[in-house]
């Protein structure tokens, strides 16, 4: 651009200088985002490193102790134990990983059908007026802070569930999972609905022309065409469910028990970090173990998010190609 500048007065030079200065400034901002994501990984990993390098820490916390080591006991509940601060520290991650999987499972089981059904209805059947109500409702739902959902599950939902189903423990995987599911619905709904809306009109018209009803068209034509987006919404919801903290910290019951029963209280990776990091000695094996969980969460969510985004992008490209 500067090549065509003919005048070289003082004011012009200042304008050009400002311009190059701003270009530099914006470029720096562009780098900062990458810098921080690298830093986030680097620092979470740096605090995890002693597990791989420090023999003192390794005595207590190592890969074998996390995933395989079991103590003697009659049931699996006695064999895999997370008690990092006892005299003989036991740092099996099995109960915690199991707890994470249980709450995630219930959460997805609750949210996936509900979110997709609502998205299908909103995109294919709802009158415009109704759609204008559904979208803000979903947005409000997404706007509820997770600490509020955790509070609701702990104080209200747990009591209701216990009264209705007669659970032995107030706080269990059902209670926590449903609360978690409420947080997942907006993710599943929004992404699925975007995917359904992106299916070209021609698909529907062709289906109608062949004599299919509106429901048949929605179910057998539109939904399969949007399947990648729906799948991606599940993957992204999974990433959110694995990492969600406050809901599980408050409504999960905070007991790291190795148990497959959904009626038992549980403890997730995220809730363990939240509950224990405040009192841990910086640099200890326990501290490194908590950061190891953080790294684990980071890696799992990183993979699931990248996969989800990739699927969405592919579908967008394909749909755009077919529209043209």
Give whichever of 22 and 202 is closer to other proteins, judged by the CB atom.
22
Residue 165: CB minimum distance to other proteins, A = 17
The interface region with other proteins, picked from 99-107, 192-200, 293-301, 314-322 by CB under 8 A, is: 293-301
Encoded one letter per residue, x for contact with other proteins by CB under 8 A and - for no contact, window 197-236 reads ----------------xxxx--x----------------x
Give whichever of 49 and 262 is closer to other proteins, judged by the CB atom.
49
Residue 128: CB minimum distance to other proteins, A = 14
What DSSP string runs through 69-135? -----SSHHHHS-EETTSSS-EE--HHHHHHHHHHHHHHHHHHHHHHHHHHHIIIII--HHHHHHHH
Residue 115: CB minimum distance to other proteins, A = 8
Residue 303: CB minimum distance to other proteins, A = 10
**Residue 152 contacts residue 246 (beta carbons within 8 Å):** no
Residue with tokens 């395989």: 68
Query: Coil, strand, or helix at residue 253?
Result: strand
What is the phi/psi pair of residue 233, to 5°?
Answer: -65, -35
Considering only residues 106 through 165, tell me which ones interact with other proteins, judged by CB under 8 A. Answer: 113-114, 117-118, 120-122, 125-126, 130, 133-134, 136-141, 143-152, 154-156
Residue with tokens 């921080």: 36
Q: Could you tell me the maximum CA-CA distance found in the chain, to the nearest angstrom?
A: 89
Residue 83 within binding range of other proteins, rule CB under 8 A? no
Residue 44 within binding range of other proteins, rule CB under 8 A? yes
Number of residues that bind other proteins (CB under 8 A): 90
Residue 94 within binding range of other proteins, rule CB under 8 A? no
Residue 245 within binding range of other proteins, rule CB under 8 A? yes
State how far the alpha carbon of 171 is from the alpha carbons of 96, 110, 132, 287, in Å. Answer: 16, 17, 36, 27
Contacts for 204 with CB less than 8 Å, ≥ 6 apart: 217, 221, 222
């Amino acid at each position: 651009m500067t090549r065509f500048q003919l005048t070289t007065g003082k004011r012009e030079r200042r304008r050009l200088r400002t311009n190059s200065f701003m270009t530099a400034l914006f470029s720096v901002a562009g780098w900062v985002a990458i810098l921080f994501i690298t830093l986030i990984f680097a620092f979470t990993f740096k605090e995890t490193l002693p597990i791989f390098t420090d023999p003192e820490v390794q005595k207590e916390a190592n890969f074998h102790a996390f995933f395989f080591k079991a103590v003697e006991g009659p049931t699996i509940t006695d064999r895999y134990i997370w008690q990092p601060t006892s005299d003989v520290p036991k740092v099996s991650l099995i109960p915690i990983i199991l707890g994470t999987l249980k709450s995630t499972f219930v959460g997805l089981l609750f949210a996936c059908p509900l979110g997709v059904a609502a998205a299908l209805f909103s995109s294919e059947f709802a009158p415009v007026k109704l759609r204008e109500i559904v979208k803000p409702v979903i947005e409000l739902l997404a706007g509820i802070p997770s600490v509020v959902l955790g509070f609701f599950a702990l104080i209200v939902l747990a009591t209701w569930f216990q009264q209705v189903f007669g659970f032995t423990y107030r706080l269990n995987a059902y209670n926590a999972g449903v609360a978690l599911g409420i947080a997942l619905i907006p993710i599943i709904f929004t992404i699925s609905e975007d995917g359904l809306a992106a299916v070209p009109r021609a698909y529907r018209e062709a289906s109608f022309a062949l004599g299919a009803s509106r429901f048949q068209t929605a179910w057998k034509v539109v939904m399969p065409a949007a399947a990648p987006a729906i799948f991606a919404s599940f993957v992204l919801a999974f990433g959110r469910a694995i990492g969600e903290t406050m809901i599980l910290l408050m409504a999960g019951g905070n007991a790291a028990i190795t148990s497959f029963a959904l009626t038992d209280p549980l403890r997730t990776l995220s809730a363990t970090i939240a509950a224990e990091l405040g009192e841990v000695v910086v640099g200890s094996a326990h501290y490194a173990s908590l950061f190891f969980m953080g790294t684990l969460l980071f890696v799992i969510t990183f993979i699931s998010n990248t996969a989800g985004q990739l699927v969405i992008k592919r579908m967008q490209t394909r749909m755009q190609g077919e529209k043209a």
